Amino acid sequence: MTEKIAGSLLDDGSISAYEVERLLKFESFRLRLIGEDLRLALFVTESFLYLGLYRHDGVYDVGTGAIYLGESAVAWGMELFEYYAERSRELDEGDLTRIFRSGIQPEAEAPPLAGEDPGAFDVMIVEDDPGHATLIRRIFEESSPRWRVHHASQLRDALRWIEDSCGLPFLVVADYLLPDGCGLDLAGKAERPLEVGFPLIILTGFGSEKIAAQAFKSGAMDYVVKEADSIQRLPEIAEEALLRWRELKRRAAGGEGHPSPQEGQGLPLKV
C-alpha cells in the first residue's frame, strides 16, 4: 500500500498504531509500502482475482471492481502482485513511527467527554468463566480505584446492562466465545468503532489472525489473547482504547469525516 493509504487507515480510526504492531507479529501478515502512486486494487487468492481500477474522472469506486476465475487469471494476478511487491519495501520501525504520528495520536491527558465523570469509569466484563472473570475484575480494581467493574456471564445479560446504560460512558471487555453467542454480537452490524456505540475490547483464549481481523472489521477497539502478560495489561489497554475513542468522538463532533473516494488510492494485496 501507499503511505497515504497507511496514514488514512489511522486517520479515520479504522486501525490504530497498537493494532498494526500486533498484526505485524503474526507470521502470515506482511505489510509493504510503495513510494509510487497506485491506480488499482488487487486481491489474489488461490481461486480468483479481484481487480479494481479508477474511473475516467479519477474516482475509485469499490463497487465497480471485477472478479476473474481460473488458473490463468490467478497466474496473471500473481505476476502483477509480484511486480508491485518488488518495487515496494517491508514496513520498518521508522515507517511505523512516521505514519503513526500522522494518524490518531490523542493527548495522554485528554479531558473527559461531556457527561463523563473523570474520577470513575464503568467497565462491563462479559466472561462465562468465573475464574477468568474474578481475575480480570481484581486486575482492574487493583490497578486504579477509578474502575467500576461489572460482570455478565452471558450475552443477554450484557445487552440488558448496555441498554440500561445507554447515554452513559462505559467500556466493554467481552470474551469471543460465550454460552449464548459471540462477543462480537455486541457490535451488531457495525464496521467502525463509533458505529458500535461504545468502546469494545474482545478477549480470546487463543491467538487467531482470522478472529483478530474479524474483531477489527466489526468495530472493536482492540483484540487481546488470554495470556498472563496481556491479561495483566488489560487496564492499560483499556486506557489506550478510551483515549482513541475520545479522539474519534471529538473528530466526529468536529465534522471530520472519512476520506472521500477521490482521496483514496489503490493498494496491491495478496490474500
CATH number where 236 lies = 3.40.50.2300
Count the domains in the chain.
2
Q: Please tell me whether residues 68 and 151 are part of one structural domain.
A: no
pLDDT value for 109: 41
Closest CA to 116 of 196, 172, 170: 170
Q: What does the block give as the cell for 129? A: 468463566
CB within 8 Å of 227: residues ≥ 6 apart? none
For residue 267, what are the β-bridge partners? none
In a domain, 115, yes or no: no
In a domain, 129, yes or no: yes
pLDDT value for 146: 87
Q: Please tell me whether residues 51 and 75 are part of one structural domain.
A: yes
Q: SS3 sequence, 166-186?
A: CCCCEEEEEECEECCEEHHHH
Q: Please tell me whether residues 249 and 266 are part of one structural domain.
A: no
Q: Please tell me whether residues 129 and 245 are part of one structural domain.
A: yes
pLDDT value for 155: 94
Q: Please tell me whether residues 247 and 266 are part of one structural domain.
A: no
In a domain, 231, yes or no: yes
In which domain, by residue range, is 45 found?
3-106+262-270
Q: Please tell me whether residues 90 and 214 are part of one structural domain.
A: no
Q: Please tell me whether residues 78 and 192 are part of one structural domain.
A: no
User: How many CA atoms within 13 Å lie on the side-chain side of 162?
Assistant: 23
In a domain, 113, yes or no: no
In a domain, 116, yes or no: no
User: How many CA atoms within 13 Å lie on the side-chain side of 193?
Assistant: 31
In a domain, 114, yes or no: no
Q: Please tell me whether residues 125 and 27 are part of one structural domain.
A: no
Q: Please tell me whether residues 130 and 192 are part of one structural domain.
A: yes
Residue owning grid cell 513510494: 35
In a domain, 111, yes or no: no
Q: Please tell me whether residues 64 and 37 are part of one structural domain.
A: yes
Q: Please tell me whether residues 59 and 130 are part of one structural domain.
A: no
In a domain, 43, yes or no: yes
Q: Is the pTM of this model over 0.75?
A: no
Burial class (CB in 10 A: 0-12, 13-18, 19+), 138: exposed
Backbone angles phi and psi of 47, in degrees to 5: -125, -15
DSSP, collapsed to helix, strand or coil, labels residue 122 as strand
CB within 8 Å of 192: residues ≥ 6 apart? 12, 13, 14, 219
Q: What is the pLDDT along the chain (271 residues), one digit of tens a residue?
A: 777 776 665 554 445 555 666 676 777 777 888 877 777 888 898 888 888 887 777 676 766 788 899 899 999 999 998 998 888 888 765 565 555 554 444 344 444 444 444 568 899 999 999 999 999 999 999 998 889 999 999 999 999 999 998 888 899 999 999 999 999 999 998 988 999 999 999 998 876 777 888 888 889 999 898 888 889 999 999 999 998 898 888 888 876 544 433 333 333 333 3
Residue owning grid cell 483514496: 264
Q: Please tell me whether residues 92 and 192 are part of one structural domain.
A: no
pLDDT value for 257: 47
Alpha-carbon distance values, 170 to 119, 217, 235, 263 (Å): 13, 21, 13, 34
